[in-house]
Structure 1
Amino acid sequence: MPTYTKITAMGQYVPDRIVDNDELATIMDTNDEWIQAHTGIKTRHFAMDAENTSSLATQVAQQLLTKSGLAATAIDLIIVTTITPDALTPATACLVQANIGATNAFAFDMSAACAGFTFGLATADKFVRSGQYQNVMVISAEVNSKMMDFKDRTAAVFFGDGAGGALLQATTNPAENSILAEKLQTQGDAEVIHSGRVQPITRVVASNYPQTDAFYQAGRDVFQFATTVVPEQMRTLLQQANVAPTDLQYVICHQANLRIIEQIATNLALPMAKFPHNVEKFGNTSSAGVAMALASVYDELTGPALITAFGGGLAYGSVLIQK
C-alpha cells in the first residue's frame, strides 16, 4: 500500500529583541524612510546572548510536539535547514534532537540558503514515502544577525532572526496527501550570494586560526533573478501539476523583500491578498521566512498553496501543497 505525506502541524518562533530601522540608523548610513521604500521592512528580531540557532529551532520543535500530541520519542527524523548553524559540526539538528529528547530519531542539517524550507520539505517527503519513517520534523532556523557586516547597509538592513517548521506524518490515505508536486533547481553560482567562506591556510604557522567572512549579496542581481527566473519556475510547476495560478489559495514566497513579493505577484497576475507576508515585522529570515509565513495561515488553508523560495547557490525551489 503506498505511503503519502501529510503536514499535520506548523510552528514559528522569533527572539524577543526587536530592532527597528531607527536603531540601525544609529550605527550605519541609512534611515527608516530609505529602508521601508526599498524593502518594506520596519522591524526585525535579533537573537541575543546565549540564544542561538538551535535555541530557535528547539522552540519550534516543542510547538510541533505540543500541537500534534506526539512524544519526542515518536520522532523518526529531524531536518534543520540553515545557513547560520551553531557550528559546522555537530549539526544543529542534533542539538535540537538532544534538547527535546528525541532519542529514537536521527538528525541532520541541510544548506540550501533561503530555499532551505522547500528543499527540506521535498527531502522529508521522500523519507516518509519510503514507508520507513512515520514522523518527521522539518525546521528552518536562522540567526542571520551573527553573520552580518553592520557597516554594509546593502545587506544588514534586510535580515532578521527566526524559525519555522512543519511536522510531516505518514498516511495511507491519498486524500490526505499534502505534498502534491515540487521543482528544485540550482545554478551553481558562488558569487551573487555567499556567507561564511573559510579560506585555506597559506603557510604552516602557529598563528593560523579559522575565520569566516560576513554575508554578502549583489542586491540588483538577486532582484533580477527573483523576479524573472523564479516566477518562470513557479509557472512551470503549476503547468506540470495542471493547476492554474488563480486556483491557488495562497502563494507563500521567500520573505526576502516586500518589493520582490509585489513584483512576483504582478508577474503572475495575482492579487497581493494571495501572498501572506511577514517581512515588514521580521525582515528577511532566510530559510525560516517562508516556513513562518506558511505557519501563520496554515490553520485556515482550504485550497492548494504554492511555496517558493530562492537564495544562495543560486538555489530555488517550489512545492505545491494542500492541507
Structure 2
Amino acid sequence: MTPDSSQVFRGPHCTRVKISALGTYVPPKILTNADLEKMVETNDQWITERTGIKERHILDKGQGTSDMAAEAARRCLAARGIPATDVEAIIVGTVTPDMMFPSTACLVQDKIGAKGAWGFDVSAGCSGFVFALQAGAKLVESGAHKKVMVIGADANSTIVNYKDRTTCILFGDGAGAVLIEPAEEGEVGLIDFVHEIDGSGGPALNLAGGGSLHPASAETVASGMHFIHQDGQTVYKFAVRKMADATTRVLERNGVEGKDLGCFIPHQANKRIITATADRLGMDPSRVIINIEKYGNTSAGTIPLAMGTAVEEGKLKKGDLVLLAAAGAGFTVGAALLRWEI
C-alpha cells in the first residue's frame, strides 16, 4: 500500500483533506538559562546537556492562552488570504485555558471575529495539537465543513513552579494554528494517524488542583496542587517507547520507511526523546526538526511551532511526506502521516 492511496480510517466517499495554511506566535519576553540560574539552583550546562533547551518565551501577565492562539490564527488566515468569517469551526488543543469556561475556542472565535463558527477545546496534554488535527480533519473529510481552524497553544509559565528546578527549566509558552480544507485534485494531504490514551499514567504527569476532585482552596494552593506535577523518569520512558511505537505503526501500515520522509516533526519535550525516536525510525538527523533550544516545551504548541521552523529553514516543502508525533499527559500519544501541500 502506498501512502498516496491509503484509505485507512477513511470511507470511500470521504473527502481528502490538507493543511492549507500555517501561522505561529510566541510572546516576545524570553527567559534564558542564565535567568533561571538566578531563580533556582541550576545552571546552563546542566539544562542544555539534559534537555537541549537554551531559552523559552514567557507570556506577559494580564494575557492568556487565547491571546497567543488568536494571534497565531490571525497569521494563519493572513497566510491563506481569507477573512475569519470563512472559518466554520475552531478546535484548540490546550491544557492551560484562560479559565475553566468558556472554552478557549470561544474566546478565540470572538477575538478574531469568526462570526458563525462553532468549536471546542481538546485536553490531551502535549498531544493536544495532533489530537485536535484529526478532529478537524474528520469534520472536513465528512463534508460537514470546508474550513476548520486547528490550534495548539499553551501558557505553561502560568502553571510552573519556579522553585521546582525539575520542571521550571522545561516549559515555555507559544501557539500555532493551521487551516484544514479539502484537498485539490492530485493532492494527498492527511493520510493516516495512530492515537492512544493510557489513563494509568495520570499520576505521573498532572495538575491536580482546581477541578471537581480538588476544588481550589487555601489548602490546594498551599500544597502546590495548581502547579505541574511530573515524575520525570516515568514520563521519559513512556514518551520514548510510545512515540517510537506509534510512529512505527503508522509508517508500516502505509508502506513508508523513515528514509522516505521529507521530515519528521516531533513534540519538543526533550532532545534525547526526539533523537531516540528518530534513531528507531532510521531517520537522517538533518530531516528531524528540533527547535527546543529556542522555545522549550510549549506543550500543544510545539508541533505547529516546529512546522514553522521547518518551513523557515527550507526543510519542509510542498510535496514532502511528513511525520508528526507527540506524547503527553494522560498519558496520551499520537502520530500522523501527511503530505505537505502548501
Structure 1 and Structure 2 fold alike (TM over 0.5): yes
* CA distance 1:29–1:109, shift in 2 (3 Å): same
1:240 matched residue in structure 2: 253
Q: Please give the alpha-carbon distance, in whole angstroms, between the structure 2 residues aligned to 1:79 and 1:201.
A: 26
1:68 to 80, 90, 99: 80
2:57 matched residue in structure 1: 45
Q: Percent identity?
A: 36
- Given the alignment of the two structures, is residue 304 of structure 1 paired with residue 321 of structure 2, yes or no? yes
Provide, for residues 165-217 of structure 1, a one-character-per-residue CA deviation record: whole Å limited to 9, x for no partner: 111112463x32311000110111211111253365899xxx88985521011
1:223 matched residue in structure 2: 236
Give the deviation of 1:259 after TM superposition: 1.7
Q: Please give the alpha-carbon distance, in whole angstroms, between the structure 1 residues aligned to 2:164 and 2:318.
A: 39
Matches within 5 A, 1:1-323: 2-171=14-183, 173=185, 175-188=186-199, 189-198=201-210, 212-298=225-311, 300-323=317-340
Provide, for residues 69-119 of structure 1, a one-character-per-residue CA deviation record: whole Å limited to 9, x for no partner: 111111000011000110110001111100111012102111000001110
Is residue 263–residue 323 contact of structure 2 (8 Å, CA) maintained in 1?
yes
More divergent stretch after superposition (76-85 vs 288-297): 288-297
The alignment partner of 2:75 has SS state of: helix
Give the deviation of 1:302 after TM superposition: 2.9
The alignment partner of 1:35 has SS state of: helix
Q: Please give the alpha-carbon distance, in whole angstroms, between the structure 1 residues aligned to 2:229 and 2:219.
A: 22
Provide, for residues 206-265 of structure 1, a one-character-per-residue CA deviation record: whole Å limited to 9, x for no partner: x88985521011111122112222201211111111111110111111000112112222
Q: Please give the alpha-carbon distance, in whole angstroms, between the structure 2 residues aligned to 1:57 and 1:147.
A: 17
Is residue 77–residue 136 contact of structure 1 (8 Å, CA) maintained in 2?
yes
Q: Please give the alpha-carbon distance, in whole angstroms, between the structure 1 residues aligned to 2:196 and 2:180.
A: 23
Is residue 209–residue 220 contact of structure 2 (8 Å, CA) maintained in 1?
no
Q: Please give the alpha-carbon distance, in whole angstroms, between the structure 1 residues aligned to 2:20 and 2:323.
A: 17
Q: Please give the alpha-carbon distance, in whole angstroms, between the structure 1 residues aligned to 2:317 and 2:101.
A: 38
The alignment partner of 2:298 has SS state of: coil
Is residue 208–residue 214 contact of structure 2 (8 Å, CA) maintained in 1?
no
Q: Please give the alpha-carbon distance, in whole angstroms, between the structure 1 residues aligned to 2:167 and 2:75.
A: 31
User: Which consecutive segments of 4 or more residues in structure 1 shift more than 3 A?
Assistant: 199-203, 207-212
Counterpart residue identity of residue 319, structure 2: T
Give the deviation of 1:143 after TM superposition: 0.4
Is residue 249–residue 301 contact of structure 1 (8 Å, CA) maintained in 2?
no
Question: Which runs of no fewer than 5 residues in structure 1 stay unpaired?
Answer: none
Q: Please give the alpha-carbon distance, in whole angstroms, between the structure 1 residues aligned to 2:123 and 2:275.
A: 27
Give the deviation of 1:159 after TM superposition: 0.3
The alignment partner of 1:36 has SS state of: helix
Q: Please give the alpha-carbon distance, in whole angstroms, between the structure 2 residues aligned to 1:57 and 1:267.
A: 33
The alignment partner of 1:33 has SS state of: helix
TM value normalised by structure 2:
0.89
Give the deviation of 1:270 after TM superposition: 1.6
* CA distance 1:318–1:98, shift in 2 (3 Å): same
* CA distance 1:26–1:210, shift in 2 (3 Å): closer
Q: Please give the alpha-carbon distance, in whole angstroms, between the structure 2 residues aligned to 1:201 and 1:223.
A: 27
Q: Please give the alpha-carbon distance, in whole angstroms, between the structure 1 residues aligned to 2:227 and 2:255.
A: 42
Counterpart residue identity of residue 20, structure 1: T
Question: Which runs of no fewer than 5 residues in structure 2 stay unpaired?
Answer: 1-12
Q: Please give the alpha-carbon distance, in whole angstroms, between the structure 1 residues aligned to 2:230 and 2:214.
A: 26
Counterpart residue identity of residue 149, structure 2: M
